[in-house]
Structure 1
Amino acid sequence: MATRAKKPDSPSLFAAAGLDHDAPRPLADKLRPQSLAEVVGQDHLLGPDGALTRMIETRSLGSLVFWGPPGTGKTTVARLLAHATDLEFVQISAVFSGVADLKKVFDAARERRETGQGTLLFVDEVHRFNRAQQDSFLPVMEDGTVVLVGATTENPSFELNAALLSRARVLVFRSLDPAAVEKLLARAEAVEGKPLPLDADARAALIRMADGDGRASLTLAEEVWRAARKDEVFDLATLKEIVQRRAPIYDKSQDGHYNLISALHKSVRGSDPDAALYWFCRMVDAGEDPLFLARRIVRMAVEDIGLADPQALVVANAAKDAYDFLGSPEGELAIANAVIYVATAPKSNAAYKAYGAAMRAAKQGGSLLPPKHILNAPTKLMQQEGYSAGYAYDHDAPDAFSGQDYFPEAMGRQEFYRPVERGFEREIRKRLEWWAKLRRERG
């Protein structure tokens, strides 16, 4: 790693002429931290024992991937890391860069390296690069031409090549908690020299609207200051009218989608109707297709409830039909009813596990023939071959149960389905135990 200090950036003609003093600057830009100590909300990385703090102290900065939601300081931290380690900071965006752009950046980094100056290459939205473009980073990472810091809002395990991930450490940036957002707002008030014209309830609501995004919180604060007349203080209702409502961070094709549907499914499986209803409403509020949710609830009914409550599948399907019939918004209530029903139903994955075990046996066993006694014998030849010989018609047997074996002879009897002692499956279990007893008695 190069240790030579960077030369200060020369001022632009615009700045040298003093024209930048009156140019409007977004509040987020004015409050951009000038040191790592000023970054809020990422104490697990930048606190006394944080991962980045240790790297800086030991001057052993390696390639990194910053994974976290927008507005959590990924770009700022990368820039300050370069300054703290005397590396030249170079920033590109995967959205606007191609192979030719990467080649230019790598060539410039090599020239810089020959003069003893290292390069920290910050790649925003690194997951947008395709596999070949991601592979192009490997040689320059390995030979030390660049220290790569990639930023992504998507799960690196799914979006980045394994080869790239093996050469970089993933650091998780967390959404800002309310205390961190409050710190940002206090700094903004100090910079602007005036308090936010909000009462206590409105201020708390603005922090919630930021949704853990520091940049968003400052943008909302700017909107409030612009709208306020002299000595005016906004209450909660007026705040909502002024800033409207910031859309939830939720991309139906990305991590947010899968995280929330996972939360819904696991809340149902955990028999928590309140949590399940909350996650259901979060997804509906974010614009999720209600029919997608209805389909997932049908899946929950067959996978996590099964025969412990056979009515669960009926209710789930009826909710889907009700939504088709009623449309929105009334139809969502039918699906909400189904969410509550499946969350409060007795749980069993016995049928789910039995199906999986039987499928594995079917694939592993090959083309095993059924035992001859349960094969039909419509011709004399088949009768001569023993087809249907010895078959016992169950309705003629005591208790309508013959106890015969129906598995292939080469496989022997198997047990796939093991009902639980819950719900309707308790009754099924009693039947199976009774039939097993009769089977043993009748050989």
Structure 2
Amino acid sequence: MSDNLFTAAGLEKSAPQPLPDRLRPKKLADVVGQPHLTGEDGTLTRMLRTRSLGSLVFWGPPGTGKTTVARLLARETDLYFQQLSAIFSGVADLKKHFEAARGRRQTGQGTLLFVDEIHRFNRAQQDSFLPVMEDGTVTLVGATTENPSFELNAALLSRAAVLVFRPLDSDALGKLVERAEKEEGRRLPLDEEARGVLLRMADGDGRAVLALAEEVWRAAGKDETFDAKRLQKVLQRRAPIYDKSQDGHYNLISALHKSVRGSDPQAALYYLGRMLDAGEDPMYLARRVIRMAVEDIGLADPQGLVQANAAKEAYHMLGSPEGELAIAQAVVYLATAPKSNALYKAYGAARRTAKEAGSLQPPKHILNAPTKLMQAEGYGAGYAYDHAQEEAFSGQNYFPDELERQDFYVPTGRGFEAELKRHLDHWDRLRRERTKDEDET
């Protein structure tokens, strides 16, 4: 049955309508949680005020109003609203919508083509939008939960402004709950603490908080009020928004790594808990912890790598959930350890010099000479065996003759690197003294 027949028959009035649909805003000013876009001085408000609406890409998590705002833009600009999903559409569908838009354009009617999950289209499909965007056949509004910089073609992005939709904060979610209570004509049967828990369960998703509210109303008995514990039992628990292969994954691992680097074990434990709670592979986290140990602690505390490796082995032995505690221990150890990226920088500099300098021969005095020919060529001649020297240090040059001595590794003086710095400074002094003596003789 078509939508028109459905409406004409009056069946839409008797069909159950979810609360999020009933509360869908009627104008941009009613949209909550996006004041930077829909507020009095918001980006979209200014565009409408100056009649300068162009093609757009809406980037943000689910339930933040992307589809609703697209509908409202079409209504407020008198554009025909056409919606399609990249998940269920192919090239044939696109061609059909483009032809329909061309037909409407000939009659003076513009088209706002809203494409949900636009990042699901491949490169060729994304390129097909370019001609109809350029000639004004459609005003494209694409919605994506993934970073457009990575998922959308540069050509498409150059023709569309990217607007960021933010997760709804507790105030915005609270306004939606208040609207729901007004719509239902009754308050949610929750005490103050449970109300806060409900908002946190929504995880910034406006559609989710309304769906959760409906569940509460359905589950509550007459004159029953849920506390936080009862609420969690009734609703179970909504999984955090977190795609292990996409943006959420990279954002959280970045936050974990930077919290360790920033010596904040409290924040580091929080992000570790977020990732484990969302189902991240603990062995992935264990490998990243090892990377933190060598990249951000290094020789300032050599035990950091020992702790990180031990955590990996402990998890491998114990499994989940007991082994996760070992990873948490390593995270806290690294976050509280002295920090140094001296080794990380030294290795990078050494690699660059090795690549740029080419295949230089080591100095002959440190080359082995197993044959008479090699001895005759001077291999091994003049080599000073360090253990036979005073302080077990010869001070000889080990770099190629064509390459000046380089100081790749410069200890920070923090943690164990303070001891290493003392050794290096001592050897540098001896090297200068012995080089000076050789020059004088």
TM-score, shorter chain, exceeding 0.5: yes
Pairing 1:208–2:181 present: no
Query: Is residue 2:181 matched to residue 1:189?
Result: yes
Structure 1 unpaired stretches of 5+ = 1-9
Q: 2:438 corresponds to which residue?
A: none
Deviation sequence 1:133-157 (CA, Å, 0-9, x none): 0010111111111110000000001
SS at match of 2:24: coil
- Residue 242 of structure 1, CA deviation: 1.2
Deviation track 1:26-49 (CA, whole Å, cap 9, x = no partner) reads 000000111111100000111121
Corresponding residue for residue 256 of structure 2: 264
Among 59, 62, 67, the alignment partner of 1:70 is: 62
* Residue type of the alignment partner of 2:63: G
Map of 2:278 onto structure 1: 286
Give the aligned partner of residue 307 of structure 1. 299
Using the alignment, how far apart are the partners of 1:115 and 1:17 within structure 2? 30
What does residue 47 of structure 1 align with?
39
Alignment counterpart, residue 99 of structure 2, candidates 107, 117, 133: 107
Shift of 1:11: 7.4
1:337 has 2:335 as partner: no
Q: Which amino acid aligns with 1:113?
A: R
Partner of residue 151 from structure 2, selected from 138, 155, 159: 159
Partner of 2:313: 321
Q: Distance in 1 between matches of 2:246 and 2:431?
A: 53
Matches within 5 A, 1:83-232: 83-232=75-224
SS of 1:426's equivalent? helix
**Matched position secondary structure for 1:90:** strand
CA distance in 2, matches of 1:21, 1:109: 31
1:347 paired to 2:339: yes
Amino acid paired to 2:197:
A
- SS for the counterpart of 1:442 is helix
Write the distance in 1 (CA, Å) between the matches of 2:152 and 2:12. 40
Residue type of the alignment partner of 2:215: E
Instruction: Find the aligned partners of 1:247 and 1:177 in 2 and give their Cα distance.
Output: 18
1:406 corresponds to which of 386, 398, 417: 398
- Please give the root-mean-square deviation of Cα atoms over the aligned residues, in Å: 1.0
Partner SS for 2:41: coil
CA distance in 1, matches of 2:208, 2:354: 55
Amino acid at match of 1:87: L
Task: Provide Cα deviations, 1:352-402, integer angstroms capped at 9, x if missing partner.
Answer: 111101111111111110111111111111111111111111111111111
2:295 and 2:422 map into 1 onto residues whose CA distance is: 22
Letter in 1 for 2:222: K
Please show how residues 1-20 of structure 1 align to structure 2 within 5 Å. 12-20=4-12
Distance 2:376 2:232 in 1: 86
The change in CA–CA distance for 1:376 and 1:251 in structure 2 (over 3 A counts) is same
For 1:401 and 1:271, locate their aligned partners in 2 and report how far apart those are by CA, in whole Å: 37
Distance 1:292 1:310 in 2: 22
Q: Does 1:439 align with 2:424?
A: no
SS in 1 for 2:162: strand
Render the CA deviation track for 1:272-304: whole Å, top value 9, x for unaligned: 000001100111111111111111000000010
The residue identity in structure 1 corresponding to 2:221 is: R
1:60 aligns to 2:52 (yes or no): yes
Structure 1 SS opposite 2:112: strand
* SS of equivalent to 2:380: coil
1:357: which partner in 2?
Answer: 349
Distance in 1 between the 2:379 and 2:136 partners? 75
What SS does the aligned partner of 1:406 have?
coil
- 1:395 aligned to which of 387, 390, 404: 387
Q: Could you tell me which amino acid in structure 1 is paired with residue 289 of structure 2?
A: I
CA distance in 2, matches of 1:383, 1:19: 100
Q: Secondary structure at the match of 1:123?
A: strand
Q: For residues 121-180 of structure 1, what are the alpha-carbon distances to aligned partners after superposition, in whole Å with 9 as ceiling and x for unaligned?
A: 100000000000001011111111111000000000111111111111100000111111
Look up the SS of the partner of 2:237 in the other structure: coil
* CA distance in 2: counterparts of 1:17 and 1:382, whole angstroms: 100
Q: Taking structure 1 as the reference length, what is the TM-score of the superposition?
A: 0.97
Q: TM-score, normalised by structure 2?
A: 0.97
Aligned counterparts of 1:430 and 1:198: Cα–Cα separation in 2:
64
Identify the range of structure 1 (173-182 vs 224-233) with the bigger mean alpha-carbon deviation. 224-233
Give the Cα–Cα distance (whole angstroms) in 2 for the partners of residues 296 and 19 of structure 1.
Answer: 56
With 110-119 and 70-79 compared, the bigger mean Cα shift is at 110-119
- Aligned match for 1:426, one of 414, 418, 428: 418
Query: Partner of 2:439 in structure 1?
Result: none
Aligned partner of 1:5 in structure 2 is none
Range with bigger deviation, 16-25 or 263-272: 16-25
- 1:228-247 to structure 2, matched below 5 A, reads 228-247=220-239
* Structure 2 residue 381 is the aligned partner of structure 1 residue 383: no
Report the AA paired with residue 239 of structure 2. A
Give SS of 2:92's match.
helix
CA distance in 1, matches of 2:398, 2:60: 56
C-alpha distance in structure 2 between counterparts of 1:245 and 1:383, whole Å = 76
Which AA in structure 2 matches 1:321? Answer: E
Ranges in structure 2 where 5+ consecutive residues have no aligned partner:
436-441
- Measured in 2, the distance between the counterparts of 1:204 and 1:170 equals 32
Match of 1:355, SS?
A: helix
Aligned residue for 1:251, secondary structure, equals coil
Supply the AA of the counterpart residue of 1:368: L
**Identical aligned residues as a percent:** 76
SS at match of 1:121: strand
